[in-house]
Chain A
Amino acid sequence: MAVANRRIVRWGAFALALAAPIVLGQGSAVDEIAKYRAALQDGNPAELWEVRGEGIWKAPVGPGKASLEKCDLGLGPGVVKGAYAAMPRYFADADKVMDLETRLVWCRVKLQGMSEADAKKNPFGGPNNKSDMEALVAFVTSESRGARMNVSIDHPKEREAYRIGEKIFYFRGGPHDFGCVTCHGEDGKRIRLQDLPNLTTKEGAQKAYTTWPAYRVSQGELRSFQWRLNDCFRQQRFPELVFTSDASIALTMYLARNANGAPFDAPAIKR
């Protein structure tokens, strides 16, 4: 990932450059970074992905020249507004719980005649390699901005996905004995100078989940929640989390449900 990372500012050097006294220097380093984050909010490049995503949603492709405009994201065919705030959810036609990306793959296959392999191709873009999936995620999620998170676990499969997602959250493994809980199980902790949300609490889950997807400045890309989970597991020294795998859906279900009640506020922008 060293090649793909576009660090505009190295936090360590930045922080060291600020002040000599140890105690004062440490406090102002965190404050200065907070100021940087506030300054970033204007001019979010995520809007470029939202525009491109809307274009892809409406573009007729495949053997039947069909667009995604009849895709049912849970609120009826073609209803995009507010749909993300109620996902993941159980879909009767697929008889399974699906998160947004899984549902988009489904619609690309069923409505546009793509093969499942093609529909899942290139989920995470890079330099000179735009991902259609990330653009679609940007567009669909932007239509839920302001909607309160309202993920249901009424259906038995939704409830099961939530319970399994919780177990995955606590799963300790790999050479470092890491689990999601290692970094996200306590209040008020940070890794280096990056504050860590406690995802086991309502407040932590709400703050974290409602700000993904996000334009990651260090990535130079719009990153989705599937990407966030994939990259967490990489850093946990696990093997690679498969895109739209059952585990990724279950974990998303656990975190999204924990965020219920909070207004969705993405696509956001992060360092």
Chain B
Amino acid sequence: MNRGFIAVALAGLGAATLLVGCATGPSDAEISAKTTSMMKASFNARGQAKLDRLDQDDAQKTCTEYSGKPLPTEVAQRIEKENLASITWPADGKYLGSWQNGEKIAQEGRGMQYSDDPASPSGANCYACHQLAPQELSYGTIGPSLYQFAKLRGYGVEIQKYAYGKVFNSEAYNACTTMPRFGHSKILTEQQVKDVVALLMDPASPVNK
């Protein structure tokens, strides 16, 4: 602390303040509180993106809190249980829609940005993160490859239901996952979720060829 010693000797009050700052500093909780208020003050509502988008739900708050740290098992299980319970399953009990529409939804990256038309249906942008149909070379690697999804796991109704649940609310199966909760957050409609499930599960889908 040579610098601090010399500063105290030469200056006085200003330096003393600096020393106090060095020694203590705000607590983690104080920094978190400052962060929340700074976020609210630093954004403007625009288009369909209103300021309430900065209000975090329980999963977002918890996942933020544990970011960069291991997620305790009890916390993960609680998040998964709550999210699983909130899934709305299709009323007609059918999980598959049209894989051709599913492919379009997987390719479409727009939806819910303030630059997007709120009247237009959103895409799921699956290819941003996943490999799916082998013909599409332009795929991301943020998520695992979904190529041959049903071919590898089976085509039965249990897997269909799992795929539906996963697309509808990914955190029901993997707390704090990177993947959005497409049905839960109303990014996709029920029909759109079914179409994406068909892309993954239909034997005729290019994903399973």
Residues of A within 8 A of B (CB): 1, 11-12, 15-16, 18, 22, 25-26, 29, 155-156, 159-160, 163-164, 167-168, 170-179, 181-183, 185-186, 188-193, 196, 200, 233-235, 237-242, 245-248, 250
Instruction: Knowing A16-B135, A171-B39 are in contact, say whether A237-B53 is a contact too (CB < 8 A).
Output: yes
Can you name 17 extra interface pairs (CB under 8 A) apart from A26-B137, A242-B43?
A11-B138, A15-B138, A155-B21, A160-B26, A164-B35, A167-B31, A171-B56, A173-B60, A175-B180, A176-B180, A177-B60, A179-B64, A189-B140, A238-B43, A239-B50, A240-B43, A240-B45
User: Shortest 9 CB-CB distances between A and B: which pairs?
Assistant: A156-B21, A247-B42, A245-B42, A170-B67, A176-B180, A167-B35, A240-B46, A239-B49, A175-B185
In the docked arrangement, what's the CA distance between A175 and B178, Å?
13
Instruction: Knowing A163-B31, A164-B34, A179-B64 are in contact, say whether A191-B128 is a contact too (CB < 8 A).
Output: yes
Cβ contacts A to B, 19 pairs, < 8 Å: A1-B115, A159-B21, A163-B31, A172-B59, A172-B176, A173-B60, A174-B53, A175-B180, A178-B180, A193-B138, A233-B43, A237-B113, A238-B49, A239-B50, A239-B54, A239-B114, A240-B43, A240-B45, A240-B46
For B, the interface residue count at a CB cutoff of 8 angstroms equals 54
| B16, CB-defined interface residue at 8 Å | no
Chain A min CB distance to B57 (Å): 9
The answer to whether B59 and A168 have CB atoms under 8 Å apart is: no
User: What residues on A are CB-neighbors of B180 within 8 Å?
Assistant: 175-178
| B173, CB-defined interface residue at 8 Å | no
8 Å CB interface, B44-82 against A = 44-46, 49-51, 53-56, 59-60, 63-64, 67-68
User: What residues on B are CB-neighbors of A235 within 8 Å?
Assistant: 113
The answer to whether A192 and B181 have CB atoms under 8 Å apart is: no
Tell which of A156, A190, A237, A247 touches B25, judged by Cβ atoms closer than 8 Å: A156
The answer to whether B41 and A246 have CB atoms under 8 Å apart is: yes
* Residue of B55, B137, B171 most packed against chain A (CB within 10 A): B137
Residues of B within 8 A of A (CB): 18, 21-22, 25-26, 31-32, 34-35, 38-39, 41-46, 49-51, 53-56, 59-60, 63-64, 67-68, 112-115, 127-129, 134-142, 171, 176, 178, 180-181, 185-187
User: What residues on A are CB-neighbors of B54 within 8 Å?
Assistant: 173-174, 238-239
The answer to whether A239 and B138 have CB atoms under 8 Å apart is: no
User: What residues on A are CB-neighbors of B112 within 8 Å?
Assistant: 175-176, 237
The answer to whether A240 and B44 have CB atoms under 8 Å apart is: yes
Q: Is the interface of B mostly helix, strand, loop or mixed?
A: loop
The answer to whether B39 and A168 have CB atoms under 8 Å apart is: yes
In the docked arrangement, what's the CA distance between A232 and B186, Å?
21
Beta-carbon nearest neighbor of B37 in chain A: A246
Tell which of A156, A192, A237 touches B49, judged by Cβ atoms closer than 8 Å: A237
User: What residues on A are CB-neighbors of B139 within 8 Å?
Assistant: 192-193
Tell which of B142, B171, B187 touches A175, judged by Cβ atoms closer than 8 Å: B187
* Residue of A156, A163, A171, A177 most packed against chain B (CB within 10 A): A177
The answer to whether A239 and B67 have CB atoms under 8 Å apart is: no
User: What residues on A are CB-neighbors of B187 within 8 Å?
Assistant: 175-176
The answer to whether A22 and B138 have CB atoms under 8 Å apart is: no
Instruction: Knowing A163-B31, A178-B180 are in contact, say whether A240-B114 is a contact too (CB < 8 A).
Output: yes
Chain A min CB distance to B27 (Å): 10
The answer to whether B43 and A241 have CB atoms under 8 Å apart is: yes
* Residue of A11, A175, A246 most packed against chain B (CB within 10 A): A175
The answer to whether A182 and B134 have CB atoms under 8 Å apart is: no
In the docked arrangement, what's the CA distance between A212 and B59, Å?
33
The answer to whether B51 and A239 have CB atoms under 8 Å apart is: yes
Tell which of A177, A234, A246 touches B181, judged by Cβ atoms closer than 8 Å: A177
Chain A min CB distance to B135 (Å): 7
In the docked arrangement, what's the CA distance between A179 and B112, Å?
15
User: What residues on B are CB-neighbors of A1 within 8 Å?
Assistant: 115
User: What residues on B are CB-neighbors of A164 within 8 Å?
Assistant: 31, 34-35, 38
Chain A min CB distance to B24 (Å): 9
The answer to whether B141 and A190 have CB atoms under 8 Å apart is: yes
In the docked arrangement, what's the CA distance between A15 and B193, Å?
28
Chain A min CB distance to B13 (Å): 14
User: What residues on B are CB-neighbors of A191 within 8 Å?
Assistant: 128-129, 140, 142
